[in-house]
Amino acid sequence: MENINGLIVLKDYGKIVFRIGEVMDKKGISRNKLCALTGIRFEVADRYYKGNIERLDIDVFTRICCVLNCNTGDLIEYRKDE
């Protein structure tokens, strides 16, 4: 957000895209199985699966990386809007 001549201008910084559901599908891991292996509630697993994450919980994200045997870069991507 910038202030130009008294006007507030919103900047488009791009977006973060979560590919957790994609990776889970490729590895054959359901949301129920993810819950069992990570100890998180189904509602939390569902939000991560769908990419509807407002605040990233590093502990949960770490557990998901461990269970899916992947790196953070496999699950998250920055896309710059052009």
Residue 12: predicted pLDDT:
82
Question: pLDDT per residue over 1-56, tens digit each?
Answer: 566 667 777 778 888 999 999 999 999 999 999 999 999 999 999 999 999 998 99
The 8-class DSSP code of residue 6 comes to: T
Could you tell me the two tokens for 59?
């502990």
Residue 56: predicted pLDDT:
93
Burial of 33 (0-12, 13-18, 19+ CB in 10 A): middle
Tokens 């509602």 -> residue: 43
Neighbours of 45 (CB within 10 A): 25
pTM here?
0.81
Could you tell me the two tokens for 5?
């001549």
